[in-house]
Amino acid sequence: MKYLIVSDIHGSINALDTVLQHFERERCDMLLLLGDLLNYGPRNSLPPGLDPRAVAERLNTLADRIVCVRGNCDSEVDQMLLDFPVLADYAWVIDEGRRIFLTHGHVYSEECRPRGSFDLLCQGHTHLPHIAPQLDGSVCLNTGSPTFPKGGNPPTFALLDGGDLSLRLLDGTVWQSYQF
């Protein structure tokens, strides 16, 4: 399976449309959403293309291909607009025997790891993209944000294709990669 992984869209239809172009171009099987989908958050400025209703409508067309977790800006009101579950703090995806733990990053994170073991922890929340191999053999991925990158980083999303994990710029260029 091929996965596109993205977090922190924050209601920007412009950012979402760009990411979904890669979803289609790369022929991804599933879209893994790590929260903060519709609300731009009180600490952020208004994003270009702010249109949470359009973001919801666009994502709903892919509802049967989405696994999603709740971000700190997501709420029960957001769930009313979306045709897929968005309110869990975490989700598991098992792919080719690989245990993938999905979370936003405000409850569980690279610094506050969940109990148990996983091969890949995927998070967003900080908007600081990186792939970080851990001493226990696991890998932590922060997808950054296509809307509000922080720390001088570019807008990003991630792809997981078999054993190839990559952080991508919005033009599709591989920015960082890791081989399982």
Whichever domain contains 108, its CATH number is 3.60.21.10
pLDDT of residue 180: 87
Look at the chain and report how many structural domains it folds into: 1
**Position 151: which residue type?**
G
Please choose, from the candidates 130, 113, 134, the residue with its C-alpha nearest in 3D space to the C-alpha of residue 165.
130
What's the pTM value of the predicted model, to 2 decimals?
Answer: 0.97
Residue 103 is part of which domain span?
2-179
pLDDT in tens, 89-145: 999 999 999 999 999 999 999 999 999 999 999 999 999 999 999 999 999 999 999
Q: How many CB atoms sit inside 10 A of residue 155's CB?
A: 21
